[in-house]
Protein backbone atom coordinates (compact mmCIF):
# COMPACT_ATOMS: atom_id res chain seq x y z
CA UNK A 1 0.00 0.00 0.00
CA UNK A 2 2.71 2.46 1.05
CA UNK A 3 4.92 1.62 -1.93
CA UNK A 4 1.91 2.09 -4.23
CA UNK A 5 1.32 5.57 -2.85
CA UNK A 6 5.00 6.48 -3.10
CA UNK A 7 5.17 5.20 -6.67
CA UNK A 8 2.16 7.34 -7.59
CA UNK A 9 3.89 10.37 -6.07
CA UNK A 10 7.17 9.62 -7.81
CA UNK A 11 5.68 9.35 -11.28
CA UNK A 12 3.56 12.47 -10.91
CA UNK A 13 4.93 15.96 -11.55
CA UNK A 14 6.72 16.45 -8.28
CA UNK A 15 9.90 18.53 -8.09
CA UNK A 16 12.99 16.44 -8.77
CA UNK A 17 14.38 17.16 -5.30
CA UNK A 18 11.19 15.88 -3.67
CA UNK A 19 11.25 12.72 -5.79
CA UNK A 20 14.86 12.13 -4.79
CA UNK A 21 13.88 12.43 -1.14
CA UNK A 22 11.05 9.91 -1.47
CA UNK A 23 13.01 7.37 -3.50
CA UNK A 24 14.89 5.74 -0.57
CA UNK A 25 11.62 5.12 1.29
CA UNK A 26 10.08 3.67 -1.89
CA UNK A 27 13.02 1.32 -2.43
CA UNK A 28 13.02 0.28 1.22
CA UNK A 29 9.32 -0.53 0.97
CA UNK A 30 9.93 -2.66 -2.12
CA UNK A 31 12.69 -4.54 -0.33
CA UNK A 32 10.43 -5.35 2.61
CA UNK A 33 7.67 -6.48 0.26
CA UNK A 34 10.08 -8.69 -1.65
CA UNK A 35 11.30 -10.44 1.53
CA UNK A 36 7.72 -10.96 2.72
CA UNK A 37 6.77 -12.51 -0.59
CA UNK A 38 9.64 -15.01 -0.33
CA UNK A 39 8.44 -15.90 3.17
CA UNK A 40 4.96 -16.46 1.75
CA UNK A 41 6.46 -18.81 -0.81
CA UNK A 42 8.31 -20.59 2.01
CA UNK A 43 11.62 -20.14 0.24
CA UNK A 44 14.93 -18.41 0.85
CA UNK A 45 16.94 -16.05 -1.39
CA UNK A 46 19.61 -18.76 -1.57
CA UNK A 47 17.11 -21.00 -3.39
CA UNK A 48 16.33 -18.42 -6.05
CA UNK A 49 18.73 -18.53 -9.02
CA UNK A 50 18.73 -15.17 -10.77
CA UNK A 51 19.46 -15.65 -14.48
CA UNK A 52 20.39 -12.03 -15.10
CA UNK A 53 21.61 -11.43 -18.62
CA UNK A 54 22.34 -8.78 -21.17
CA UNK A 55 19.52 -9.15 -23.70
CA UNK A 56 20.16 -11.46 -26.67
CA UNK A 57 22.99 -13.19 -24.80
CA UNK A 58 21.63 -16.72 -24.47
CA UNK A 59 18.92 -16.35 -21.81
CA UNK A 60 16.52 -18.79 -23.45
CA UNK A 61 19.33 -21.08 -24.58
CA UNK A 62 20.30 -21.44 -20.90
CA UNK A 63 16.66 -22.03 -20.01
CA UNK A 64 16.44 -24.85 -22.56
CA UNK A 65 19.61 -26.38 -21.11
CA UNK A 66 18.14 -26.26 -17.61
CA UNK A 67 14.73 -27.57 -18.71
CA UNK A 68 16.17 -30.48 -20.67
CA UNK A 69 18.65 -31.40 -17.94
CA UNK A 70 15.95 -31.32 -15.26
CA UNK A 71 13.66 -33.54 -17.32
CA UNK A 72 16.51 -35.99 -17.89
CA UNK A 73 17.74 -36.27 -14.29
CA UNK A 74 14.17 -36.81 -13.03
CA UNK A 75 13.43 -39.47 -15.63
CA UNK A 76 10.73 -37.38 -17.27
CA UNK A 77 12.29 -36.80 -20.68
CA UNK A 78 10.67 -38.15 -23.83
CA UNK A 79 12.68 -35.91 -26.17
CA UNK A 80 13.63 -32.24 -26.40
CA UNK A 81 11.69 -29.87 -24.14
CA UNK A 82 9.27 -27.88 -26.28
CA UNK A 83 9.14 -24.08 -25.94
CA UNK A 84 5.82 -24.47 -24.12
CA UNK A 85 7.35 -26.97 -21.66
CA UNK A 86 10.38 -24.77 -21.07
CA UNK A 87 8.22 -21.72 -20.36
CA UNK A 88 5.95 -23.76 -18.08
CA UNK A 89 8.88 -25.18 -16.13
CA UNK A 90 10.65 -21.81 -15.78
CA UNK A 91 7.83 -19.28 -16.14
CA UNK A 92 8.96 -16.31 -14.09
CA UNK A 93 10.42 -12.98 -15.17
CA UNK A 94 11.90 -11.68 -11.93
CA UNK A 95 10.45 -8.17 -11.72
CA UNK A 96 6.98 -9.27 -12.84
CA UNK A 97 6.84 -12.35 -10.63
CA UNK A 98 8.51 -11.18 -7.44
CA UNK A 99 7.78 -7.45 -7.29
CA UNK A 100 4.97 -6.88 -9.73
CA UNK A 101 4.54 -4.64 -12.75
CA UNK A 102 7.06 -2.64 -14.73
CA UNK A 103 8.84 -0.85 -13.32
CA UNK A 104 7.58 -2.47 -10.09
CA UNK A 105 3.89 -1.79 -9.51
CA UNK A 106 1.79 -2.69 -6.47
CA UNK A 107 1.86 -6.26 -5.18
CA UNK A 108 -1.49 -7.11 -6.76
CA UNK A 109 0.14 -6.98 -10.19
CA UNK A 110 2.53 -9.87 -9.50
CA UNK A 111 2.63 -12.43 -12.29
CA UNK A 112 4.22 -15.22 -10.25
CA UNK A 113 3.63 -18.78 -11.44
CA UNK A 114 4.74 -21.97 -9.73
CA UNK A 115 7.98 -23.26 -11.31
CA UNK A 116 8.72 -26.94 -11.85
CA UNK A 117 9.26 -29.02 -8.70
CA UNK A 118 12.16 -30.70 -10.57
CA UNK A 119 14.27 -27.70 -9.48
CA UNK A 120 14.57 -29.29 -6.05
CA UNK A 121 17.13 -31.64 -7.61
CA UNK A 122 19.38 -28.58 -7.99
CA UNK A 123 18.54 -27.25 -4.53
CA UNK A 124 16.44 -24.47 -6.03
CA UNK A 125 12.93 -23.11 -5.81
CA UNK A 126 13.07 -21.12 -9.04
CA UNK A 127 15.30 -20.00 -11.90
CA UNK A 128 13.97 -16.55 -12.71
CA UNK A 129 15.27 -14.32 -15.50
CA UNK A 130 16.05 -10.62 -15.53
CA UNK A 131 17.74 -7.95 -17.66
CA UNK A 132 18.87 -5.63 -14.86
CA UNK A 133 22.08 -4.33 -13.43
CA UNK A 134 23.24 -6.17 -10.31
CA UNK A 135 20.92 -5.29 -7.40
CA UNK A 136 22.49 -6.29 -4.07
CA UNK A 137 19.52 -5.07 -2.03
CA UNK A 138 17.40 -7.84 -3.59
CA UNK A 139 19.92 -10.42 -4.78
CA UNK A 140 22.57 -10.14 -2.08
CA UNK A 141 22.03 -13.75 -0.94
CA UNK A 142 20.93 -15.34 -4.21
CA UNK A 143 23.12 -17.21 -6.70
CA UNK A 144 23.38 -15.14 -9.87
CA UNK A 145 24.19 -16.52 -13.31
CA UNK A 146 25.14 -13.65 -15.60
CA UNK A 147 25.39 -14.14 -19.37
CA UNK A 148 26.83 -11.50 -21.65
CA UNK A 149 27.73 -11.31 -25.34
CA UNK A 150 30.29 -9.41 -27.37
CA UNK A 151 28.74 -6.01 -28.14
CA UNK A 152 28.89 -6.30 -31.93
CA UNK A 153 27.02 -9.62 -32.19
CA UNK A 154 24.65 -8.32 -29.51
CA UNK A 155 23.92 -5.35 -31.76
CA UNK A 156 23.26 -7.58 -34.77
CA UNK A 157 20.86 -9.72 -32.76
CA UNK A 158 18.99 -6.84 -31.11
CA UNK A 159 18.72 -5.08 -34.48
CA UNK A 160 17.07 -8.03 -36.20
CA UNK A 161 14.86 -8.93 -33.27
CA UNK A 162 13.70 -5.52 -32.12
CA UNK A 163 14.50 -2.69 -34.49
CA UNK A 164 14.25 -4.10 -38.00
CA UNK A 165 10.52 -4.71 -37.72
CA UNK A 166 9.73 -2.04 -35.16
CA UNK A 167 7.78 0.11 -37.60
CA UNK A 168 5.23 -2.66 -37.99
CA UNK A 169 5.14 -3.74 -34.37
CA UNK A 170 5.15 -0.84 -31.87
CA UNK A 171 7.15 -1.34 -28.68
CA UNK A 172 6.61 1.75 -26.57
CA UNK A 173 9.22 4.45 -26.43
CA UNK A 174 11.60 2.68 -28.86
CA UNK A 175 9.05 2.89 -31.65
CA UNK A 176 9.91 6.52 -32.24
CA UNK A 177 13.59 5.79 -32.91
CA UNK A 178 13.03 2.69 -35.06
CA UNK A 179 12.99 4.62 -38.32
CA UNK A 180 16.47 5.99 -37.54
CA UNK A 181 17.95 2.51 -37.08
CA UNK A 182 19.40 1.51 -40.42
CA UNK A 183 21.51 -1.37 -39.10
CA UNK A 184 23.30 -2.92 -36.12
CA UNK A 185 25.68 0.05 -35.70
CA UNK A 186 22.70 2.35 -35.11
CA UNK A 187 21.20 -0.20 -32.72
CA UNK A 188 24.44 -0.34 -30.72
CA UNK A 189 24.60 3.45 -30.61
CA UNK A 190 21.10 3.56 -29.10
CA UNK A 191 21.73 0.74 -26.64
CA UNK A 192 25.33 1.66 -25.83
CA UNK A 193 24.72 3.17 -22.36
CA UNK A 194 22.43 0.31 -21.29
CA UNK A 195 24.94 -2.29 -22.45
CA UNK A 196 27.83 -0.56 -20.66
CA UNK A 197 25.92 -0.20 -17.37
CA UNK A 198 24.95 -3.87 -17.37
CA UNK A 199 28.40 -5.12 -18.32
CA UNK A 200 30.29 -2.98 -15.81
CA UNK A 201 27.77 -3.73 -13.08
CA UNK A 202 28.48 -7.47 -13.15
CA UNK A 203 32.17 -7.16 -13.91
CA UNK A 204 32.53 -5.03 -10.79
CA UNK A 205 30.27 -7.21 -8.63
CA UNK A 206 32.13 -10.38 -9.58
CA UNK A 207 35.33 -9.04 -8.00
CA UNK A 208 33.73 -9.11 -4.58
CA UNK A 209 31.12 -11.87 -4.83
CA UNK A 210 33.22 -14.59 -6.43
CA UNK A 211 31.38 -17.85 -5.63
CA UNK A 212 27.92 -16.26 -5.53
CA UNK A 213 28.06 -14.75 -9.02
CA UNK A 214 29.01 -16.81 -12.07
CA UNK A 215 29.72 -14.90 -15.29
CA UNK A 216 29.72 -16.85 -18.55
CA UNK A 217 30.03 -15.36 -22.00
CA UNK A 218 27.49 -16.31 -24.64
CA UNK A 219 30.39 -17.31 -26.86
CA UNK A 220 31.73 -19.81 -24.29
CA UNK A 221 28.23 -21.18 -23.71
CA UNK A 222 27.80 -21.74 -27.45
CA UNK A 223 31.27 -23.17 -28.11
CA UNK A 224 31.59 -25.28 -24.95
CA UNK A 225 28.01 -26.00 -23.81
CA UNK A 226 28.78 -29.29 -22.07
CA UNK A 227 31.65 -27.82 -20.07
CA UNK A 228 29.59 -24.74 -19.17
CA UNK A 229 26.56 -26.76 -18.07
CA UNK A 230 28.76 -29.04 -15.96
CA UNK A 231 30.35 -25.97 -14.37
CA UNK A 232 26.94 -24.44 -13.59
CA UNK A 233 25.63 -27.65 -11.99
CA UNK A 234 28.76 -27.96 -9.83
CA UNK A 235 28.55 -24.27 -8.93
CA UNK A 236 25.06 -25.05 -7.59
CA UNK A 237 26.55 -27.73 -5.37
CA UNK A 238 25.47 -30.79 -7.35
CA UNK A 239 27.48 -33.37 -9.28
CA UNK A 240 26.38 -33.47 -12.95
CA UNK A 241 25.38 -36.67 -14.74
CA UNK A 242 27.71 -36.84 -17.80
CA UNK A 243 25.37 -38.66 -20.21
CA UNK A 244 22.46 -36.41 -19.28
CA UNK A 245 24.60 -33.30 -19.73
CA UNK A 246 25.46 -34.48 -23.23
CA UNK A 247 21.83 -35.23 -24.11
CA UNK A 248 20.58 -31.95 -22.62
CA UNK A 249 23.05 -30.06 -24.82
CA UNK A 250 21.94 -31.97 -27.91
CA UNK A 251 18.27 -31.33 -27.12
CA UNK A 252 18.98 -27.60 -26.62
CA UNK A 253 21.01 -26.96 -29.78
CA UNK A 254 20.15 -24.04 -32.06
CA UNK A 255 19.24 -26.55 -34.76
CA UNK A 256 16.78 -28.34 -32.47
CA UNK A 257 15.31 -25.09 -31.15
CA UNK A 258 14.88 -23.78 -34.72
CA UNK A 259 13.01 -26.96 -35.62
CA UNK A 260 10.74 -26.59 -32.59
CA UNK A 261 10.15 -22.94 -33.41
CA UNK A 262 9.47 -23.82 -37.05
CA UNK A 263 6.81 -26.27 -35.86
CA UNK A 264 4.96 -23.41 -34.20
CA UNK A 265 6.58 -23.29 -30.76
CA UNK A 266 6.73 -19.83 -29.16
CA UNK A 267 10.05 -19.49 -27.36
CA UNK A 268 9.09 -16.02 -26.16
CA UNK A 269 5.27 -15.76 -26.14
CA UNK A 270 5.39 -11.96 -25.62
CA UNK A 271 7.71 -11.22 -28.55
CA UNK A 272 7.05 -8.56 -31.17
CA UNK A 273 5.58 -10.83 -33.83
CA UNK A 274 5.23 -14.64 -33.94
CA UNK A 275 6.59 -14.65 -37.51
CA UNK A 276 9.98 -13.29 -36.39
CA UNK A 277 12.30 -16.14 -35.41
CA UNK A 278 13.55 -15.81 -31.86
CA UNK A 279 16.54 -18.08 -32.58
CA UNK A 280 17.53 -16.42 -35.85
CA UNK A 281 21.24 -17.24 -36.21
CA UNK A 282 23.26 -17.30 -33.01
CA UNK A 283 26.63 -17.58 -34.72
CA UNK A 284 29.76 -15.91 -33.34
CA UNK A 285 31.36 -13.20 -35.48
CA UNK A 286 28.33 -12.45 -37.65
CA UNK A 287 28.93 -8.77 -36.90
CA UNK A 288 31.65 -8.73 -39.58
CA UNK A 289 28.94 -8.77 -42.22
CA UNK A 290 27.44 -5.55 -40.86
CA UNK A 291 30.06 -3.29 -39.26
CA UNK A 292 32.56 -1.28 -41.29
CA UNK A 293 36.16 -0.80 -40.14
CA UNK A 294 35.33 2.82 -39.38
CA UNK A 295 32.39 1.81 -37.16
CA UNK A 296 34.51 -0.78 -35.33
CA UNK A 297 37.19 1.83 -34.64
CA UNK A 298 34.54 4.29 -33.43
CA UNK A 299 33.03 1.84 -30.95
CA UNK A 300 36.41 0.53 -29.83
CA UNK A 301 37.24 4.07 -28.68
CA UNK A 302 33.83 4.58 -27.06
CA UNK A 303 34.23 1.38 -25.06
CA UNK A 304 37.82 2.28 -24.11
CA UNK A 305 36.54 5.61 -22.80
CA UNK A 306 34.37 3.73 -20.27
CA UNK A 307 37.16 1.29 -19.30
CA UNK A 308 36.01 -1.63 -21.46
CA UNK A 309 38.61 -3.28 -23.66
CA UNK A 310 37.21 -5.25 -26.61
CA UNK A 311 39.87 -7.87 -25.87
CA UNK A 312 37.64 -8.87 -22.93
CA UNK A 313 35.26 -10.45 -25.46
CA UNK A 314 35.34 -13.30 -27.95
CA UNK A 315 34.69 -11.51 -31.23
CA UNK A 316 35.17 -14.42 -33.63
CA UNK A 317 34.66 -18.18 -33.56
With cut-offs at 50, 70 and 90, classify the pLDDT of residue 72: very high
Report how far residue 235's alpha carbon sits from residue 227's, in angstroms, rounded to the nearest whole number.
Answer: 12
Least confident of 3-7, 36-40, 279-283: 3-7
Residue 180's pLDDT is 76
pLDDT tens, 287-300?
999 999 999 999 99
pLDDT band at 194 (very low <50, low <70, confident <90, very high): very high
Determine what percent of the chain is predicted with pLDDT higher than 70. 82
Q: How many CA atoms lie within 13 A of 160 on its CB side?
A: 17
Question: Could you give all domains of the chain from N- to C-terminal order, each with its CATH number?
Answer: 1-40 (no CATH), 41-312 (3.40.50.300)
- pLDDT value at residue 104: 47
User: CA-CA distance, 148 to 72, in Å (whole number)?
Assistant: 27
Of the candidates 201, 197, 195, the residue with the CA atom closest to the CA atom of residue 215: 201
Mean pLDDT computed over 180-198: 95
The reported pTM is: 0.87
Instruction: State the DSSP string of 4-58.
Output: HHHHHHHHSS--HHHHHHHHHHHHHHHHHHHHHHHHHTT--GGGEEEEEE-TTSS
What pLDDT does 163 receive? 86
pLDDT given at position 71 = 98
**184 with 291: CB under 8 angstroms?**
yes
Residue ranges of alpha helices (H) inside 105-217 are 136-139, 151-158, 175-178, 184-209
191: preceding bond cis by omega (within 30 degrees): no
- Say what the pLDDT of residue 52 is: 97
Amino acid sequence: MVTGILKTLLINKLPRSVKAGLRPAYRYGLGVRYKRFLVRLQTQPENLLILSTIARSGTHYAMFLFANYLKLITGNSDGPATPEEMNTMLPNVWHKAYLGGRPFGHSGTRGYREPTPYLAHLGLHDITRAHYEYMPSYWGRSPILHLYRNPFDYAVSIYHYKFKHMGDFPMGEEQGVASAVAGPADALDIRFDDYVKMYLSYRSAARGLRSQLLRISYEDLRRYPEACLRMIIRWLGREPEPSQIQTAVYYSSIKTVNQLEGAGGLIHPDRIDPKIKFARDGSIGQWKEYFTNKEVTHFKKRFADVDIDLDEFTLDS
